[in-house]
């Protein structure tokens, strides 16, 4: 029989081991970025961020967010990229709607690492994956684990989304995220958006400390004519179009404010409810807004059921330099070109 002092030492050693953050679950490699967590509030939790859009520079914004979440808050983070045949992160790849993209199958290496994710942050746009690739995404949607969708995520996959529930096709935007892009409510690449907190929901944890949200991207119309968010959604932030692309530009009185951030739940065929946060702002330059970064960081905690840890002063400062390129498709003019994933660390 162990003496009391020895038994106490064993118990304390076990408790200490349990309290220590575990190592990053994803091996480092050239096709994705891993960010080691620490002993912060998110210790031991793993977030997979998917940067796969062609317009809003997610290849810059998601590594920036991963840096904040890992360095400031202790989460392990893995950033996956849309890549070309040379295994470069390539936001210039065409989609199947384009003549040059006919028959293309896109590749996002590392999707298998969603198996160890506690949270997925999706920022894709009209991507067509292989059967094996999309299976990882659908398996995650079935898992009951939380989801964050940024801007184009609500039309993140163009073809090959073989997901159904109760004999009906699951709509990525309308069913999972609560709305799908239908048109630009603002003026595309001509105006900007002022975030307005929804008064009746101002006490929601995701809004704690959030103020002064502005971004140079426009407001999305995500519902049919005369419709808005469903009853299963909780609106948090409205987007008011402005008449120009500067923070102090006047309100466009001809354009009503529409929801740009909300929460909901999603249950797949397993009936395991997942917390969902969707924000239709989110270009790389939108994320120069401290208010939008705070909203997103708060949403991470809320999605993971850690809302009691949210404080109005959670650190949302950049970890390193952040100088994102402008949104758009004129890649040569904007300086957008294929680069190795490591470039974005």
Tell me if 336 sits within 8 A of 326, measured CB to CB: no
Segment holding 279, helix H or strand E? strand 274-279
- Distances in Å between the alpha carbon of 231 and those of 164, 167, 183, 219? 22, 23, 22, 21
Mean pLDDT, rounded, for 265-294: 97
Mean pLDDT, rounded, for 191-202: 98
Q: Read off the pLDDT band of 240 (50, 70, 90).
A: very high
Tens-digit pLDDT profile for residues 322-345: 999 999 999 999 999 999 999 999
Q: Read off the pLDDT band of 225 (50, 70, 90).
A: confident
pLDDT at position 6 is: 42
Tens-digit pLDDT profile for residues 255-268: 999 999 999 999 99
pLDDT at position 3 is: 52
- Distances in Å between the alpha carbon of 214 and those of 38, 191, 237? 31, 11, 11
pLDDT at position 21 is: 52
Q: What is the DSSP string of 1-35?
A: ---HHHHHHHHHHHHHHHHSPPPPSS--BTTEEEE
Check whether 19 has a pLDDT greater than 80. Answer: no
Domain ranges of the chain: 27-182+260-320+330-344
Check whether 239 has a pLDDT greater than 90. Answer: yes
* 27-182+260-320+330-344 CATH: 3.40.50
pLDDT at position 20 is: 43
Q: What is the pTM of this model?
A: 0.93
Mean pLDDT, rounded, for 15-23: 48
């Amino acid at each position: 029989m162990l003496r009391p002092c020895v038994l106490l030492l064993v118990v304390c050693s076990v408790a200490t081991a349990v309290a220590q953050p575990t190592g990053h679950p994803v091996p480092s490699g050239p096709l994705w970025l891993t960010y080691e967590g620490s002993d912060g509030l998110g210790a031991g939790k793993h977030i997979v961020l998917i940067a796969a859009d062609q317009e809003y520079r997610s290849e810059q914004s998601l590594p920036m967010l991963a840096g904040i979440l890992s360095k400031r808050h202790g989460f392990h983070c893995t950033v996956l990229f849309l890549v070309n045949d040379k295994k470069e992160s390539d936001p210039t790849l065409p989609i199947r709607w384009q003549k040059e993209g006919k028959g293309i199958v896109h590749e996002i290496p590392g999707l298998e690492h969603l198996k160890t994710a506690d949270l997925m942050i999706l920022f894709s746009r009209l991507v067509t994956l292989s059967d094996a690739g999309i299976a990882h995404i659908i398996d995650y949607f079935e898992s009951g684990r939380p989801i964050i969708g940024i801007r184009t995520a609500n039309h993140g996959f163009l073809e090959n989304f073989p997901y159904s529930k109760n004999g009906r096709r699951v709509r990525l935007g309308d069913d999972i995220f609560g709305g799908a892009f239908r048109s630009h409510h603002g003026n595309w690449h001509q105006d900007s958006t002022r975030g307005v907190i929804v008064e009746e929901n101002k006490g929601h944890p995701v809004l704690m400390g959030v103020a002064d949200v502005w971004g140079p991207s426009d407001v999305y119309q995500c519902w049919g004519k005369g419709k808005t968010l469903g009853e299963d959604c909780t609106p948090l932030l409205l987007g008011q179009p402005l008449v120009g692309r500067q923070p102090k530009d006047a309100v466009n009185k001809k354009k009503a404010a529409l929801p740009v951030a909300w929460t909901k739940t999603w249950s797949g065929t397993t009936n395991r409810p997942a917390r969902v946060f969707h924000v239709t702002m989110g270009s790389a330059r939108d994320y120069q807004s401290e208010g939008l970064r705070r909203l997103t960081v708060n949403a991470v905690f809320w999605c993971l059921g850690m809302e009691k840890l949210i404080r109005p002063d959670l650190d949302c400062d950049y970890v390193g330099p952040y100088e994102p390129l402008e949104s758009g498709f004129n890649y040569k003019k904007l300086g957008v070109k294929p680069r190795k994933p490591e470039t974005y660390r």
